[in-house]
């Protein structure tokens, strides 16, 4: 039997008709007045017009949202992914006022996030930062923290930092939200934007992440754990001197001002700074290794020095062996990994993990 070639548009139409059918069945079961006979008669009468009417009926925003709402409640993961992607793909062609009105009147966090993502897709595709105004207003003013977080999560994977700057909104201000779920959304947005959108190469995003982490260190919305999460994972390869200085200032503060988790994250961030900052960072890390007795912080210092100097770090970490004999195996593992001749940091890191898969057992100081 010959196989017919179906274009992506035809496949999409078939899927939409299928979802529309599910919704019709759902409505029929919910309405006891809809008898089998009347349903069958209606179906037979409308059959010739089904193909002509399916596209406009199912592609309206209202029907899109109804299908997505139903899929999110009891649809398969594949159907959910398809409808999410479809809404974002169609958003640039929809009237912004219609999308904005739907977003402003939605109360389910899951749908708030998807409509926010649709507005963000419109912003990205059409270079219209103003499309983000409604999500940002809601992120600042909605009484429900889940709604505020959902509005922000919709911006993930877009160039949100630049767009927000043009609208006079700053992640630093939003990070003062007292709801942990909102702060987590901000951290995840920044990490995704740096890694997925700019592949770690955008200075503005990295520096904004550092500024947000510093804002999370203190105040009513202090969240050292989220600050550490941000600093330990953000790329710092493109940051400027001022941002490096801010990170170094945390290490020079009294140890009691910052938990060990945050100090270790700052050290990790310093391990990826530009070569022009390496000399100053090296001296600060060596001094901190001797001053800070926390085991995880010292392990982070060893890793940061190896990241900064690669094979040239072999004698540097050797100079620290006498400071804490219990970390001797860690130093040896790094030296062996660096001596392997691997030129990429990711490969060196993997080799070190292969040599010493897990850290030595903690010890009391």
The rounded distance, in Å, linking the Cα atoms of 343 and 310 is 8
Q: What is the pLDDT of residue 221?
A: 85
Ordered by start, the domain boundaries in the chain are 303-365
Q: What is the pLDDT of residue 19?
A: 52
Q: What is the pLDDT of residue 15?
A: 54
Phi first, then psi: what are they for 343, rounded to 5°?
Answer: -105, -15
Q: What is the pLDDT of residue 60?
A: 87
Q: What is the pLDDT of residue 358?
A: 60
The answer to whether 191 touches 157, Cβ cutoff 8 Å, is no
The rounded distance, in Å, linking the Cα atoms of 292 and 305 is 15
What single DSSP character describes residue 276? G
Q: What's the sign of the alpha-carbon dihedral 301, 235, 160, 190? A: negative
CB burial string 106-118: b at 16+ within 10 A, e below: bebbbbbbbbbbb
Nearest Cα residue to 299 out of 285, 310, 311, 309: 285
Consecutive sets of 10 residues in the chain, 365 residues long: mean pLDDT of each? Answer: 47 50 41 39 40 44 92 94 95 94 96 97 94 96 98 96 95 95 97 95 96 91 94 96 96 94 97 96 98 97 98 97 96 97 95 81 41
The answer to whether 297 touches 260, Cβ cutoff 8 Å, is yes
Q: What is the pLDDT of residue 12?
A: 53
The rounded distance, in Å, linking the Cα atoms of 133 and 268 is 35
Q: Where are the alpha helices (DSSP H) in 60-95?
A: 61-74, 77-90
Q: What is the pLDDT of residue 218?
A: 84
The rounded distance, in Å, linking the Cα atoms of 351 and 347 is 6
Q: Is the pTM here over 0.85, yes or no?
A: no
Nearest Cα residue to 264 out of 237, 236, 223, 231: 231
By CB neighbour count within 10 A (0-12 exposed, 13-18 middle, 19+ buried), where does 357 fall? exposed
Q: What's the sign of the alpha-carbon dihedral 81, 86, 89, 92? A: negative
Q: What is the pLDDT of residue 29?
A: 33
- Cβ neighbour number for residue 160 with a 10 Å cutoff: 29
The DSSP annotation for 323-339 comes to T-GGGHHHHHHHHHHHT
């Amino acid at each position: 039997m010959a196989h017919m070639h179906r274009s992506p548009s035809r496949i999409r139409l078939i899927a939409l008709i299928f979802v529309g059918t599910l919704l019709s069945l759902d409505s029929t079961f919910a309405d006891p007045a809809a008898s089998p006979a009347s349903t069958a008669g209606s179906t037979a009468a409308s059959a010739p017009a089904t193909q002509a009417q399916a596209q406009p009926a199912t592609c309206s925003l209202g029907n899109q949202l109804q299908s997505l709402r139903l899929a999110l409640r009891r649809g398969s993961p594949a159907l959910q992914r398809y409808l999410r992607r479809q809404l974002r793909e169609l958003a640039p062609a929809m009237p912004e006022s219609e999308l904005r009105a739907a977003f402003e009147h939605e109360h389910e966090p899951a749908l708030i996030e998807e409509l926010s993502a649709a507005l963000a897709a419109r912003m990205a595709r059409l270079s219209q930062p103003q499309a983000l105004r409604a999500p940002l207003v809601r992120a600042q003013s909605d009484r429900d923290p889940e709604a505020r977080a959902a509005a922000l999560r919709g911006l993930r994977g877009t160039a949100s930092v630049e767009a927000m700057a043009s609208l006079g909104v700053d992640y630093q201000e939003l990070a003062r939200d007292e709801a942990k779920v909102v702060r987590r959304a901000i951290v995840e947005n920044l990490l995704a934007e740096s890694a997925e959108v700019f592949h770690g190469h955008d200075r503005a995003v990295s520096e904004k992440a550092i500024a947000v982490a510093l804002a999370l260190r203190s105040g009513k919305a202090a969240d050292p754990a989220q600050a550490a999460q941000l600093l330990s994972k953000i790329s710092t390869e493109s940051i400027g001197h001022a941002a490096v200085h801010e990170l170094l200032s945390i290490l020079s503060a009294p140890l009691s001002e910052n938990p060990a988790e945050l100090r270790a994250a700052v050290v990790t961030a310093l391990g990826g700074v530009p070569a022009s900052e390496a000399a100053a960072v090296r001296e600060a890390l060596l001094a901190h290794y001797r001053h800070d007795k926390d085991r995880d912080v010292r392990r982070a210092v060893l890793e940061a020095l190896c990241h900064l100097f690669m094979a040239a770090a072999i004698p540097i970490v050797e100079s620290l062996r006498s400071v804490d004999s219990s970390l001797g195996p860690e130093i040896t593992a790094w030296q062996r990994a660096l001596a392997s001749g691997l030129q990429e940091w990711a490969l060196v890191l993997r080799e070190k993990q292969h040599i010493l898969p897990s850290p030595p057992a903690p010890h009391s100081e």
